[in-house]
Each structure stands twice: as structure tokens, then as C-alpha cells.
Amino acid sequence: MPPNVVPLDLRDFLCIAPALVLAFWGLVVIAADLGRFRRLDPDARRVACGRATLVGVGLALASAVFLAWVDALAQSDAPRLVALFGDSLGGYFARTDGLIFFGTLARGLAVDVLNVLFLVLLAMVVWMSTSYGFTDDLGEYFALMLWATVGMMLLAAAEELATLFIALETTTICLYLATAFERSRRRSAEAGLKYFVYGSVSSALFLYGLSLVYGLAGSTYFDAIGRVLRGGDAGLAGNLAGASALLLLLVGFGFKVSAVPFQQWVPDVYEGAPAPVAAWIATGSKVASFVAMLKVFVHALGPWSHPSGSVMGPGWLGVVAVVAAVTMTYGNLAALAQKDLKRMLAYSSIAHAGYMLVGVAAASVSTEGPASAGAVVYYLIVYALANVGAFAVAAWLARDKGTEAIADLDGLAGRSPSLAVCIVVLMLSLIGVPPFAGFFGKLYVFMEALRQGPSDTRIVLTWLVALGLFNSVVSAFYYVRVLKAMYLREPSGRPIEPARPALALPIAAAAVLVTVLGVVPGPLVDLSRSVAVPMLTAGRLDVPAAVDVPAPAPPAEKPSGVAWHPETPTD
Amino acid sequence: MANDIPLNWFLYFSAAAFAIGLTGVLLRRNAIAVLMAIEIMLNAANVNLVAFWRYGTPAAGAGPMPGVILALLVVTVAAAEVAVGIGLVLLCYRRWRAVDVDRYDTLSG
């Protein structure tokens, strides 16, 4: 690369302020725990560490909300920004199509909205963590949760494959460690190692796919890849390198979003990990992975979704459709047999991944264009909120019983009637019963899947939707078991104690949010759609200086979108 | 570049290394050997990245992120991953007195 690369714009750092605050605050929490909190007794120390962490999350949330305000203003009233912040900074903020750090990260309202979502979920998870003592290394635990979130934020903002890979690793490496944090139980260490082995193998597969994509397209930027692939003549048939790249990336993401047949780690890790960590793996990590998957598959590899025009021809659309069908069916059927609440939630999260994959498949062929991915974003938000609440219930059981059997919930309605109602709301939302947000999540995903022109993609996706509806009915059976335990059974043995605010508030907040978003789904749907459009189109590299580099003349007889030398065959 | 080793050789080499790594992960039961196999897979991808950087032409608007820099980043990530992996293996070793992944059987499934 020639040396005349544009210098780094220091203002870019402002746009990742929430991530920077969290990264720094992790160190603050460790230092505070070492210096001050270690002298307190275990319960007080846990609460103190948790509060210190929440302060950092609050600061990051404030910066994220501020950035969201600035970016919203940039879309509606850009001159005012210049008046408020001066020419340099105001003008910088007023550019709404910006990519930052040499085009590797996106900025703008879409990123801010996702950051706010991550931080709200993180606050609930951190709060839940203070409810019971599962580890003695509190400073390190909370710091790892903060750093995992840094990775998720960057993952959701990445516009380039290497950045995406590093963000993915930041997230998962922190989560491997956090999974193994439960001191008293062997299964936590085992879950950590299992998560590590599955996770790092999937990362290696992903990386190999990435290297092939880099070789084929000559770039790792999503937009550049998309342009190169669109330029080629339908290039996937007989293109072994392209097909293996596609398959390897799909396997990598399949692991991260827990799609069948790469789901083996999910139940074990969720069961073995401490409940708050399992909550963060099930929500934050999944949201970030799905956003990244949408970007890679719909934006960068979109031209390879079904290049020959038929779903079951070469291309990823047919594979994703089949994987979605198998994932939701397997997740729901396997969940029916579970007696452990966290294990049941693990299989249910596999099933939800299946519904969301239907949305991913639909987003690549919808007549609506990128806005159709808004359905997946909406589903992700709703799913994450309901699941954080459900895992808080698991944390409650773990605190008092040491296990998370569904039977431990017996008779809960008699002792904590209001929280029992909240749990009912969460379960109904996860099933997808109308007044609650989960229903609208499924409705929009399935509606987008049906919004196709008349073609064989429409037939395939209609079948997928029918299967999804059938699966929703199946899922009702295992979610209702929780309700049956709470309302129809008498407690045997020592009942669980009432929840303190650290548990009650996440459950109640999740239930309220799920209800409100279900009764008034409009604003969030609009927001999700407006998030999805820049997410899947952010492209123009604003590094004009890098373009005036005299590029070496490409060989004239360049074969189908392949950027390396033509004398090398593409096998 | 006319007298260089052709690109294909690098690709065959990296594909072979990747296959060896994947086989190791699937067949070896020793946790340390699994870690080493994962490293081989990551390095296979690195060979690819550097080879493509050396032989390929960047796409228009490819941006200033060449393959060698990717390879350096991957090396860093791999180091972090091994540090964490060894830590987890040690933790399990202390609980079970074994590094055989088949012996860790608290979780069903």
C-alpha cells in the first residue's frame, strides 16, 4: 500500500464514545475492587462493585443518547448542529452518511440505537449479577462483562471483515472467561472450555472464509465486496473458492447465532454459565451476531444470495432457508423435554434463531429492499428484552435453590403475585401471543417473508412461514409449563424467597417494555426500519485521498469478479 | 513476479494446513492438542491472507486495509485466544485432574 494514506481523523473517537467509556470503566471497576471494595464483606462488596459498574454503564448510556440526539439532529436540522458545535465539529456531525476510522466502522443513528439497546440490556444484566454470589473475583467479572459489550458495540458497527472479526473475538473471548466464573460448580468450568473450543473453531472457520473472500474480491470492506460481486457475471456456479468461502462464513455465523447443526454448545453453555452470563450470551451476543450476519450476508454477499434466480440453485438463500426450517423445528421439539429452566431457554433461543433466519432470508429477496431487515431488528430487540427477564428468573432460582429446575417455580403465584404476572407476560411474549411484543416480532418477520414477487422464492418462503406458525404453537407447550408450575402447583420443600430489587426490577422492566412495545409497536417498527437501511447500505468510503492512488492496471481479461491474477484458476 | 512460486501453491498449502487443523480438532481428545489444532487453522488463514495480498490487485475503493495488516491482527487475536484457552484448560485440569475432553461430563449433551 502506498504511504499516502489519509491521516486518522481524531473526531472519529467521539463517535465510539460509549465503547471507549465502557473499556475504560472496566479498568476503573477492577482498580476500585482491588483498592477499596475488597475489605468489605462479600455481599456488600458485590453490591458495591455492581453499583460502580452501573455508574459506568450510565455514563456510556448518556454518551450514546447524546450521540443519538446529535445524529437525529443531523438528519432533521443540520445547520443547527453547525451553530451549536462550530464549523469543524458541527460540520463533522452533520455528515449523515459517515463511516469512521478509514471506513471500518459505521456511525449514525443506526449505530446509536443499537448501542442504547446494548447498554440498557447490559444495565439489567449487571444489576441481576449483584443478586447472588457466584464468584469471588467480582472486579474481573464486571470488567469482563463491560469489555464483552465493547466488542458487541463494535461488532454491530463494523463495516469491514477484519474489524468484524476482531470485535467478534473481543466479545467471545470475554464471554468464554465469564462463563467459567462460577466458583462452586464444576460444570461452569466445563461450560467455559466447551464454549471456548466450539467458539474458537467457528472463529477459525470464519477467518478462513474471510481470507477467501479477501482473495476473491480484493477487499474486506462490505460495500466493496458487494460491488465486486455484483460486477461479476453471476459468478458462483462452478466457483469452488466462492462456494467454500460462503459456506465457511455461514458455518462461522451459524455457531455464533446458534443455528442447527452448529447448536451443540448452546444448551451446555447456558446451563453451565452463571445465569447473568447466560443472559448476556443469549441476548447481547446474539443481537450483535445477527446484526453482523445481516450486514455480511445481505450487504456484502447479497449478490450471491441466489445468483441464478432459483432458490435451490447455487447461493446462500437456499441453505439459509433450510437451516432456518431445521433450526426452529429442532429448537422447539428439544425444548419440550427440558426440566431445567436455563436449558429450556437455551433450546428456545435456538428456535428463535430459526425465526430470525427466516427474516434474514427474506431481507435478501424482499421487494422492499434493505428496510425489510427492520423486521429482524425489531424481533431482536423484543427477543432480547424478554429473554433478559426470563434469565433473571433463572438467577432468582439459582440464588435460592442452587439449581434452575422449572419445578422450583411451583406455587410462585401465591407468594409473589405481581412478579408471577410479569413472568406470565414474558412467557406469552416469547410464545408470540397478541398483545405482547413477541407477537408483532413474529408477525413482521413473517410478513416480510411473504412480501415477494411471484416466483419460486415466494413458494419456499411461504412454506417457511407455515412451518414457523406451526412451531409457535409447539413452543406454547413448554413456555406454558412455567406458568403451570407457578399457578397450578403447590410448592414442595422450601419455597424460594421473595426477590430483592436486583432481580425484581429486571423482570418487571422487561415485562413492562415487552407490553408497551406490543401495545404500541408502531414507533419501534419505524425506528427498526430506519436502522436497517443505513445498516445495509452504508458504503461510500469517505477517504477520497486514498482513491487518487494510481491503482495498478487490472488485467484486461479479468474472469468473473475474481481480483487476483488471471493465470490462476479459481478452483 | 514472473519467477515467483505460483499463488496456487500457497493456496494448496494453506488448504492442507487448514484440513490438518480441522482434523486435529475433531479427532484429538487432549485439550492442549485441540488448542494447537485451532492455532494451525488460524495460521492457515494467515497464509491465505498474505498470499492474496502479495498476488492480488486491490479492488476499486478497497480501502487502506491490506492483507498483511489483517494477518498481523489475526496473530494478535490468536495470542489472546491461546492465553484464554490455556487458562480454561488449567481450570478444568484442576477440577478433574485430566486434560482429556471426554472426561469432562457434568453437562448432559
Q: Residue B45's pLDDT is what?
A: 93
Q: Higher confidence at residue A308 or residue B28?
A: B28
Whether the CB-CB separation of A23 and A146 falls below 8 Å is answered with yes
CA A570, A237, A536 angle in degrees (round to 5)?
95
Q: Which residue of A has its CA nearest to B92?
A: A189
CB–CB contact A190 B107 (8 Å): yes
Contacts of B45 in chain A (CB under 8 A): 204, 207-208, 210-211
Q: Residue A12's pLDDT is what?
A: 85
Give CA separation, A525 vs A374, A528, B37, B95, in Å. Answer: 7, 5, 45, 49
Q: Is B49 on the interface with A (CB under 8 A)?
A: yes
Q: Residue B56's pLDDT is what?
A: 77
CB–CB contact B59 A210 (8 Å): no
Render A305-362 in DSSP notation, one character per residue: SSTTSSTTSSSHHHHHHHHHHHHHHHHHHHHTT--BHHHHHHHHHHHHHHHHHHHHHH
Q: Which residues contact A16 (CB under 8 A, 6 or more apart)?
A: A100, A105, A107, A153, A154, A157
Q: Residue A489's pLDDT is what?
A: 84
Q: Residue A563's pLDDT is what?
A: 40
CB–CB contact B64 A546 (8 Å): yes
pLDDT at B97 over 90: no
Q: Residue B1's pLDDT is what?
A: 55
User: What does the block give as the cell for A65?
Assistant: 443518547
Contacts of A221 in chain B (CB under 8 A): 61-63, 65
| B100 min Cα distance to partner chain A (Å) | 12
pLDDT at B102 over 80: no
User: Judging by beta carbons within 10 Å of its beta carbon (0-12, 13-18, 19+), is residue A27 exposed, middle or buried?
Assistant: middle
Letter for the amino acid at A471?
N
Q: Residue A106's pLDDT is what?
A: 87
User: What does the block give as the cell for A232?
Assistant: 461479476
CB pairs under 8 A between A and B: 185
Contacts of B8 in chain A (CB under 8 A): 568-569
Whether the CB-CB separation of B104 and A190 falls below 8 Å is answered with yes
Letter for the amino acid at A464?
L
Report the C-alpha gap between A402 and A396 in whole angstroms: 9
Domains of chain B, by residue range, sit at: 7-56+65-103
Helix (H) / strand (E) containing A406 = none
CB–CB contact B92 A271 (8 Å): no
DSSP A543: -
Contacts of A211 in chain B (CB under 8 A): 14, 45-46, 48-49, 52, 67, 70
Q: Residue B61's pLDDT is what?
A: 58
Q: Residue B24's pLDDT is what?
A: 94
User: Judging by beta carbons within 10 Å of its beta carbon (0-12, 13-18, 19+), is residue A331 exposed, middle or buried?
Assistant: buried
Q: Is B95 on the interface with A (CB under 8 A)?
A: yes
Q: Along the 571 residues of chain A, how does pLDDT read in single tens digits?
A: 444 456 777 888 888 999 999 999 999 999 999 988 888 888 899 999 999 999 999 999 999 999 999 888 888 888 888 888 887 888 788 776 678 888 888 888 889 999 999 999 999 999 999 988 888 889 999 999 999 999 999 999 998 898 999 999 999 999 999 999 987 788 899 999 999 999 999 999 999 999 999 888 888 888 888 888 887 654 566 678 888 999 999 999 999 999 988 888 999 999 999 999 999 999 999 999 999 999 999 888 888 887 776 766 778 888 999 999 999 999 999 999 898 999 999 999 999 999 999 999 888 887 777 788 899 999 999 999 999 999 999 998 888 887 788 888 888 888 888 999 999 999 999 998 888 999 999 999 998 888 876 677 788 888 889 999 999 999 999 999 989 888 888 877 777 788 888 889 999 999 999 999 999 988 898 888 888 888 888 765 443 333 333 344 344 333 333 444 333 333 3
Q: Residue B54's pLDDT is what?
A: 85
Reduced to 3 states (helix: H, G, I; strand: E, B; else coil), residue A405 is strand
Domain at B7-56+65-103: CATH code: 1.10.287.3510
Report the C-alpha gap between A411 and A81 in whole angstroms: 56
Task: Name the residue among B60, B91, B106 with its Cβ closest to that of A180.
Answer: B91
- The ipTM assigned to this model is 0.94
Per-residue pLDDT of B59-96, as tens digits, reads 665 555 678 888 999 999 999 999 999 999 999 898 88
Task: Name the residue among B6, B38, B104 with its Cβ closest to that of A190.
Answer: B104
